Structure 1
Amino acid sequence: MKHEKPSDLKAATHLDVLIIGAGISGLGMAVHLKEKCPGRSFAILDQRSDIGGTWNLFQYPGIRSDSDMHTLGFEFEPWREQKAIADGPSILSYLRRIKDERGLNDHIRLGHKVLSA
């Protein structure tokens, strides 16, 4: 996928849906769009250089979820790991796997900061 510079995004073709953020919520929304609205075009914008939101941003030792991943994880992709209270790297790995397995790579545009909408 060609990653447009911010100035190129203005000239991009029309999109039906623009998702802000490639964290848990943004990736979940993208999967639901692909499954429930297959005719809709969309992109996920994130200002960071990688997906994962909170789980990519905060990487201090011992970071973990304060909710069990069977609840926090996606219904369409249940948490399979043994630890229900997962550490940050495990959650980030889960999100990367979903991104890859669900074909979201071509929809993600990293390095894009939304200034207004």
Structure 2
Amino acid sequence: MKTKLLWLLAPIALVGCQSTYVAEYANNEQWYQLGEEDALRGLHVRNASMNEEALSLYEEGYAIGKAQYCESSNAWMLGRIGKPYLGICHDLPHGWSFQLDYDAGRERWRKW
């Protein structure tokens, strides 16, 4: 199973600096940490073939990371420093205000 999953994650691991954490967490079967890190980077849920236990751990970590990433106090700063926002907070009750704050910070970044 571990080998099969590594083959599924290998193309993702070849993409730039993200490869380090993906490969490390996948090799060590640290699914909670992988989910948390994906969310903290503002990425959408990974579409990888995982067993039920691994998927559960990944989703649990992702939820924790998403809660931290989507704190309203982060939105303006993410935009201000030019980080892309992929809309992972849209399904939250404050998702619309997160987007507005991000857009305000992004506008400031463009003028800089």
Q: TM-score, normalised by structure 2?
A: 0.28
Q: Which has the higher contact order (CA 8 A, sep 6+)?
A: 1
Report which of the two has the higher share of strand.
1
What's the TM-score, normalizing by structure 1?
0.27
